[in-house]
A and B are shown apart, each in its own frame.
Chain A
Amino acid sequence: METVTQFITDLGPAVVLPVLIFVFAVILGLRPGRAFRAGVLIGIGFVGIGLVITLLLEQLGPAAEGLAERFEVQLNVIDVGWPSTAAIAFGSQVGAFIIPLGLAVNIALLGIGLTRTLNIDLWNYWHMAFIGAIVAIVTESLLWGFVAAAIHMVILLALADWSAPWIQRYYNFPNVSLPHGTSAPYVFLAIPLNYLFDRIPVVRDWKLDPDTIQRRFGVFGESIILGLVLGIVLGVLGGLSLNAVLQLGISLAAVMLLLPRMVAILMEGLAPVAEAAREFVQRRFPGRNLYIGLDSAIAVGAPAVIATALLMVPITLVIAVVLPGNQVLPFGDLATMPFIVCMMVPIFRGNIFRSVVAGAIAIAGGLYIATAISPVFTQAANNVNFQAPGDATQLSSLVDGANPVTGLFFGVAQAPAVGLPLLGAAALLFAWWVSRRQPGEPAVAGSKPRPGEPERAREPQEERI
């Protein structure tokens, strides 16, 4: 038995996942030819992501070391971005079974009325797999990994239900909720913070204009330019030769473009399978009064979200440098800022000033989390054959490495036998509280004014199309 496990581990996810996905797809009724192609594409995606990560680490490593020597800035943990994080999560042992597990938990919760959301965004089940993979490594127990992933699903569904009225009203998505692993946890931060802002005189009237920000800071949205400039700046600060500086610039620009492209290949393979699973589930839950759980990608185009995310790019870089004890060098997820802020913005009613303050708090705390989990993150990456050259550099990410819920699970996993059951009970209690809170139709719940939300709180939300 042990030799079999060892054999599978040695093969790596680029070989194992295609086989697994092929079997899963055939069970769901996909034609074998299509299922086969889907499986192979997923393998290719894995190989591609591995190549780009190697390029990133080889190029950025020396600059980060130089930075440490010359300025005593210890930024030796490289943010490899969500594409790598998602691949690590799906390639983990928990990730291999996350779609059936997640759906089972979702359907069970729907059955006992603890949620109203059917999460059909199967791609984003990687967030639960990521939590599971981290917990499995810390506890050295695959079982605890699965338990953690299941608890994470409960938390995300409850958060999606809780935030749904804000989301539906602000973005005008009827019957949609966003059980998204990156975006949803920040709701915990935004709700109390908004309450606080409403009570500070003068400051509560501050706001920023999205148009001006888009014009002035638009360049931060172009990730290849961002990669190029960041590479050159880091190279110069790291004391590299002119040759190496220019090469670093072009390489980081390449990573910014190539990494998401590689994930697109992975996604192309997963899409037919996820679609088949979605149809399979939706056929069984027709016409019930449900929220459809979607990817928060649908929300990130709103002007206030874009503007906040653009401002967050330079702010994140500054925080990373000045924050004592931080070791994370933000890179890959500078392009993922919209996902961090997109569920806070509706709670702040589109107020960009508040959203940026909340985003800065989230990043500052998040960098400590990302630093703390980096050894485990690096281990998780090694487990799927994404290797850092040498021992000097470690890996982490902002999405979801810097997520408060990731921090929570990481902490709890230190004493799993006590912590995880307690967290599971708390998650169920939270879900129960949310489900009791909004009886009646979603549309009605959405138009009710919240306690602590004064009437003057009508932000001009110019929603241009």
Chain B
Amino acid sequence: MIVCGTGIATSTVVAQKIRDYCAERGIEVDIQQTKVMETLRGVEDYDLVVSTTQMPGGSGVPTVNGMPFLTGVGVEQTLEEIGERLQS
């Protein structure tokens, strides 16, 4: 699974929260961060993308909007959505 923020800053915040959440639920995840410019090549190798910005290439991989992690509004729902998608 890849947490695809843009710079380093936002994706680190998101990665941390998802890692904590998954550890609590006993979900095994392998998280990688990258910036959006690098995703133009494709992200097919991953199961789920969490992006705090728009994915310009249209990933073809299920994508969750990571914005709530930054605004602090709706974090729980987003985490649940991520958890469900990962377990299915």
- Using CB atoms and an 8 Å cutoff, list the residues of chain A in contact with chain B: 83, 120-121, 123-124, 171, 173, 176, 210, 214, 218, 221-223, 260-261, 263-264, 267-268, 271-272, 274-275, 278-279, 282, 292, 294-295, 297-303, 306, 309-310, 335-336, 338-339, 463-465
Contact = CB atoms under 8 A, between A and B. Distances in A.
A295 B13 CA distance: 12
A298 B67 contact: yes
Contact of B37 (A120, A176, A292, A335): A335
A298 B6 contact: yes
Determine the main DSSP class of B at the interface with A.
Answer: mixed
B87 to A, nearest CB: 24
Given A123-B9, A214-B40, 4 more contacts: A214-B56, A271-B12, A306-B56, A309-B37
A306 B6 CA distance: 11
A264 B13 contact: no
Contact of A338 (B6, B16, B63): B6
Interface residues on B, range: 20 to 34
Interface-centre pick from B5, B12, B16, B72 (highest chain A CB count, 10 A): B12
Contacts of B63: 465
Interface in B15-50: 16, 33, 35-38, 40-41
18 contacts: A83-B8, A222-B37, A260-B7, A264-B8, A268-B12, A268-B16, A271-B12, A272-B16, A278-B72, A292-B71, A295-B9, A297-B52, A300-B6, A300-B53, A301-B56, A303-B54, A335-B35, A335-B37
A434 to B, nearest CB: 22
Contacts of A298: 6, 10, 52-53, 67, 70
A295 B56 contact: no
Contacts of B36: 300-301, 306, 338
Contacts of B16: 268, 271-272
B74 to A, nearest CB: 13
A210 B40 CA distance: 12
A271 B12 CA distance: 8
Nearest to A299: B53
A199 to B, nearest CB: 31
B8 A263 contact: yes
Interface-centre pick from A124, A274, A303, A463 (highest chain B CB count, 10 A): A303
A301 B12 contact: no
Contacts of B41: 218, 222
B71 A464 contact: no
A218 B9 contact: no
Contact of B55 (A120, A222, A223, A465): A465
